[in-house]
Structure 1
């Protein structure tokens, strides 16, 4: 098996992220099993996942779109990159279950092979995650670093489109439970990860001091003034004194996806646009501002933590008349709510 490992190129892992087109490979009913596919299966059985993944990728890139290669190939991404592989792995699964499904064979056993292969893939990933979590080894410690947050945040919005695609592509639906378990674990793990370092604020351009601005002397003719359009600047209108909110990695990715959707629609690439649309719709329906705008809520949660004991009684008294009245004022007029004396809000008389 060592010789086989040397005969294939380095592992890449991105091949299935793009849609596959064309007819599935033809396999006569009386055809003998392809020895190259059998070699991949044997490598998996022997625990040589790296050789299996690299061999599967080589065969896929040659056009052998056999569903038995999908599981070993994608597991190679997890073996190679750990939790950082989740975005690409989820994108590949979504393509295989939707746009690329018809390009895979053997057609007669496509559903059986695909379901068994993906079920093995998902259960193997969960098994390996549990192993490292129990050992608390170096791999686990890397997974607990702040850099792991962005890949998980990128992958999770694809969970719902995948769950929607599984029943249609896999009639026996044997992959839904392990995939839900994996997505649930990723969400729980995300909550334990440290927040990313805040982006450095961009300093606004400095303006020349007023004293340095040239003023015409009495003995000079005033310079000709530019027209109104040239004098107008975006800062002419007053702006609220709110610090800029840095764009987080998930928000930057969402912006890229929106731009990609516009581009794909203009190009007429509707299958690709459909994949992006499903992903963006799932993100919008479950939009969590804590993920996409984390810096906006840092001060709020810090204050909530610092004053939790003082605030807790009022959270439990939300049904009392004074608190209900105060809440209604807050909803209809924030300015009046803020200027209301604190003594008036308690409902007590002086």
Structure 2
């Protein structure tokens, strides 16, 4: 599939996109609904090649392109969306209900990608193993950086639904961060063989566990590593102070809006990935053991344990 169809300058037609009653759109939508994504993408590609730029066709095409080309192709997918949203929006249809189509199409695309990622991971499929083996930290970081522009583009073109749409995209970012941490982390080492315990072993183990938690807490506080997202936020905060000092209030107002949007959708895992690295990695490694307790969350005993956790972490972990 030719991703270059969505790169560079897109010509603006007098009536961009397809009418919702156009049988060509109905055929493509039916294929996508039936799970025939490659076929839907191929038909969408043919219409894009004719200069019919419709956000619905674009999302059908990009999903098929991503399925065909693999995880790393998420970068050209995001870059293409950025090119559409930030540089070529006047060329995009359909006319009349463009905002609604943008909302539904992006929501569909993000959900489809996330569903595919989570499915392959849950099955520990060969494709998941391939992702885990071949993924590169720099590659993932580049996708995350492009995602920041994507959030800006969504906010610019559909501010009313930007929070919901960027929240969907952030779920994909969280999945990528988890994969990044698996890729960037050393393999788990086998614990040393335990020596025979003497009298008082239970108390010693409890004290040791408490010390380990305290040490882990100290280590986390010392090793918080910021991310691209945090560096960009700090840069924007500094820029806001600068333009206020220079009485550049139009720029200040735009920066304030952007910063407030970031705070409204703030996800600490994106801004402090190192802090959550071990937590996320251990969740993935022990996925089946942890999800076995999912059905107990409404159980009174489980809720009592939650209250215990809230009031006394140290005694809770010694139990």
Q: Which TM class, normalised by the smaller chain length? A: 0.5 to 0.7
What is the Cα-based RMSD across aligned positions, in Å?
A: 2.7
Correspondence list, 1:92-107, <5 A: 92-107=80-95
How do 1:274-293 and structure 2 match up within 5 A?
Answer: none
- Checking the alignment, whether the CA contact within 8 Å between 1:75 and 1:121 is kept in structure 2 is yes
Q: Which runs of 4+ in 1 moved over 6 A?
A: none
Listed as ranges, the matches of 1:263-282 within 5 Å are none
For each residue in 1:182-216, what CA deviation from the matched residue of structure 2 results, as whole angstroms up to 9, or x when unmatched? 11221221121158xxxxxxxxxxxxxxxxxxxxx
Identify the match of residue 172 of structure 1 among 157, 161, 173.
161
Name which of 68, 73, 76 aligns with 1:80.
68
* Within-5 A mapping of 1:120-159: 120-159=108-147
Q: Deviations over 1:42-87 (max 9, x none)?
A: 1101100000111101101101112220111110122112211111
- 1:27 and 1:69 map into 2 onto residues whose CA distance is 9
CA contact (8 A) 1:13 1:76 kept: no
Structure 2: gaps spanning 5 or more residues: 186-269, 275-319
**Residue 20 of structure 1, CA deviation:** 1.5
Distance 1:75 1:168 in 2: 23
Asked if the contact 1:25–1:65 (Cα under 8 Å) also holds between the matched residues in 2, the reply is: no
Q: Deviations over 1:98-129 (max 9, x none)?
A: 11211011221111111100110001100110
8 A contact 1:86–1:151 mirrored in 2: no
Structure 1: tracts of 5 or more residues without a match: 1-10, 196-285, 291-350
User: What is the CA–CA distance in structure 1 between the aligned matches of 2:11 and 2:29, rounded to whole Å?
Assistant: 25
Pairwise mapping of residues 204-215 of structure 1 onto structure 2 (< 5 A)? none
Q: Which protein has the bigger helix share?
A: 2
What's the TM-score once normalised by structure 2's chain length?
0.54
**Residue of 167, 173, 179 corresponding to 1:183:** 173
**CA drift at 1:27:** 7.6
1:4 matched residue in structure 2: none
Residue 63, structure 1, aligned to residue 51, structure 2: yes
CA drift of 1:151 comes to: 3.3
Q: 2:105 — aligned with what?
A: 117
Residue in 2 aligned with 1:25?
Answer: 15
Is the contact between residue 16 and residue 94 of structure 2 (CA under 8 Å) also seen in structure 1? Answer: yes
Query: Does the CA-based 8 Å contact 1:70-1:118 persist in structure 2?
Result: no
- The match for 2:183 among 174, 193, 203 is 193
Distance 1:12 1:27 in 2: 19
Q: Which SS does the other structure have where 1:98 is aligned?
A: helix
Q: C-alpha separation between the residues in 2 aligned to 1:149 and 1:140?
A: 16
